[in-house]
Structure 1
Amino acid sequence: MGIVSKRRMPGPTVDLNLLRVFVAVYESRSLTIAARRLYVTQPAVSQALARLRRELDDPLFERDGRLMRPTPLAESVFPGFRDAIEGIDRTIDAVHGFDPSSSRRLFRIALSELGEIGWLPAILSAIRSRAPHMRLEVVPIQVDALSDWLSRGTVDLAITTASVPGRFVRSQLKSQPYAVVMSASHPLAEGTLDLDAYVSAAHATVSGDSGAPMLAAAERRAGIVVEPEVALRHITALPPVLAASRDLIATAPDTIAQGWASTWPLVVRPLPFEMPPVGVFLYRRSTTQHTAALDWLYDTVARAVAGSSGQFFVIHGDAFAEAPRS
């Protein structure tokens, strides 16, 4: 009796481009954004997704309003597909390299108003010196949205003092102490500022200060609660408001306050309680597109900010000092 050999049928082969489409849809939760990221049309993304659904015998994504929600199978295969795509792209990048001098890519960085004033000049100088054609869009930071933005690739980088939930690569750029700043004519401008005087004073705050939660936590540890009497929307309004008032004080990053005090009639005093310096962090998105370019941008921005003292002095008080007093 002869022996019948059993040969294993080859397993299914999946087009690499289908995996790229899957990863882009998974990360962005949107067919439109995935198409824009891959430089193809939305129908092309839909067709590729349909092919992969047939290959894997699973819907992979289901519509939930305007979002594409992954199925349990999609959740399970995503890490492997993402790592495979990233590994291939990094291997290709190692062969060809990334040339910033010829790049025309658009990158988006989320910055606070203060970050845009202080760090953007150094960031632009560092980028444009080696990548003169690269485009940069600054997005007003929304701390509550950052985790979603970085996960979906809405922004490429973000600079913030906030702790962003999620598995993102980040590096600490600065360690920023806080201090109290007030008008030079404020009754507390002379002598030592104690805790009772700090609590009793009228406080001004800025709604966009991402260090505010750390300040509030330090105040709670000191056993005090401060209710601001003036809440401003823009950090640029704070120096003139303080300079024009004899009763308002504000708590702000000390290097920034010292910069203001060089041209505004303001004085800076140490905090009358313990507050650890606030870390300033650079976050990068977790999505997989343009890995080599993002590596270069991340390193360039990190070096630019870490090596800069900031341009906060541009909110200067020369006009205020020269204005006639009534």
Structure 2
Amino acid sequence: MNLNRIDLNLFAVFDAIYTAGSLTKAADVLCITQPAVSNSLARLREMLNDPLFVRTGHSMTPTPVAQNIIVPARQALALLRKSVQESHTFDPLTAEKSFNFASRDLLEASIMPRLVARLQNLAPNISITNYEIPRSQVVSAMAAGALDFFTDASTFTDPHLCKQKFAQDRLVALARKNHPALKNGLDLDTFLRLGHINVSQRKSGAGPIDIALDKMGKRRKEVMRGQHFLTVPSTIVKTDLIACLPFHLAKHYDLAIYELPFEVPPVEYFMYWHVSADHDYAHMWMREQIMEVASNFKPH
């Protein structure tokens, strides 16, 4: 049997005939004409190579083949109806679903714990997964349904993606406690003289700190460049290096925090999702939860 020829509508007719025991009654249940029911039955008979029903008096008696397939056919139809209904409604208390995120360690460490705690109360059967993915693969992963959300501090423009800002923070300088060069605080000269850890996913290129310094005709001393924020504290505590981190991450470490001695634009965080999920009820609900968690995010 060629699966490409299967029309689910035929099985809806099959179920109606089996239940009603009559083509006429089945037509009434389905709100279609009796010839339409007869035509659908003929197509199904040809596809399954079985008469399916034989006339006995004024009723249609199912054949052994019909009796064998009625249960799985009804289960398939029920599953399809349930899926269609759930696409228009979403009950977080009963929903069983997993959402896939692609977020850097910065957001994983700050947003994810709060989001998981919230979900435990509102949606106990919903789980989330976070993994790294190259930016070049984000759109294709979302289109394939393998990725629900991509969050980043940088802008990402693509006609297939929707975007929403969900949080904002400020950059601060982080150093080990009792740093010998910072007894009197952090001024611009000291900032430029000390060695820096620069966190960036790119191998080279200027970030917001470097752009702000460049406008002043200044340049910092980059000693180490890494991809992950969470490796910074363990390096700083063992050296005289400093690093610029978002405040909401820096405040969690037992290290000294200093305001930057020059103006730097705030760090803005965006979440992205595929346009095909924009009106999905489950997806909309999750976006609301992310925004609610982020609304309690205090950068000071």
Q: Indicate the residue corresponding to 2:224 in structure 1.
A: 230
CA displacement 1:155-197 (0-9 Å, x = unmatched):
1112211101124333222221111111223233222423232
Contact 1:122 1:308 (C-alpha < 8 Å) held by counterparts: no
Contact 2:88 2:280 (C-alpha < 8 Å) held by counterparts: no
Which of 184, 190, 193 aligns to 2:186? It is: 193
Q: 1:95 to 1:206 in 2, by over 3 A?
A: closer
Aligned partner letter, 1:298:
R
Q: 1:142 to 1:306 in 2, by over 3 A?
A: farther
Contact 1:156 1:284 (C-alpha < 8 Å) held by counterparts: yes
Q: 1:269 to 1:236 in 2, by over 3 A?
A: same
Contact 1:175 1:280 (C-alpha < 8 Å) held by counterparts: yes
Contact 1:177 1:278 (C-alpha < 8 Å) held by counterparts: yes
Which of 95, 119, 125 aligns to 1:133? It is: 125
**In structure 1, distance between residues paired with 2:218 and 2:135:** 26
Q: Does 1:176 align with 2:169?
A: yes
**In structure 2, distance between residues paired with 1:146 and 1:224:** 35
Contact 2:197 2:242 (C-alpha < 8 Å) held by counterparts: yes
Q: Indicate the residue corresponding to 1:251 in structure 2.
A: 244
Deviation at 1:258, TM superposition (A): 2.7
Q: Which runs of 5+ in 2 are unaligned?
A: 1-6, 10-83
Q: Indicate the residue corresponding to 2:210 in structure 1.
A: 216
Contact 1:93 1:292 (C-alpha < 8 Å) held by counterparts: no
Pair member with larger Rg:
2
SS at match of 2:222: coil
Contact 1:171 1:281 (C-alpha < 8 Å) held by counterparts: yes
Q: Indicate the residue corresponding to 2:95 in structure 1.
A: 103
Q: 1:189 to 1:227 in 2, by over 3 A?
A: closer
Contact 1:147 1:164 (C-alpha < 8 Å) held by counterparts: no
- TM normalised by structure 2 equals 0.62
Aligned partner letter, 2:246:
P
Deviation at 1:134, TM superposition (A): 2.1
Q: 1:151 to 1:274 in 2, by over 3 A?
A: farther
CA displacement 1:203-231 (0-9 Å, x = unmatched):
1123449xx73333223223223352123
Contact 1:143 1:162 (C-alpha < 8 Å) held by counterparts: no
**In structure 2, distance between residues paired with 1:244 and 1:124:** 33
Aligned partner letter, 2:216:
A
Which of 275, 285, 296 aligns to 2:264? It is: 275
Contact 2:229 2:245 (C-alpha < 8 Å) held by counterparts: no
Q: 1:219 to 1:301 in 2, by over 3 A?
A: same
Which of 286, 290, 293 aligns to 1:301? It is: 290
CA displacement 1:293-326 (0-9 Å, x = unmatched):
111111112212332459xxxxxxxxxxxxxxxx
Contact 1:150 1:286 (C-alpha < 8 Å) held by counterparts: no
Aligned partner letter, 1:185:
N
Deviation at 1:273, TM superposition (A): 1.7
Aligned partner letter, 1:223:
G
SS at match of 1:300: helix
SS at match of 2:158: coil
Q: How many residues align?
A: 215
Q: 1:232 to 1:149 in 2, by over 3 A?
A: same
Aligned partner letter, 1:224:
K
Q: 1:96 to 1:237 in 2, by over 3 A?
A: closer
Fraction of identical pairs, as percent: 23
Q: Does 1:239 align with 2:233?
A: yes
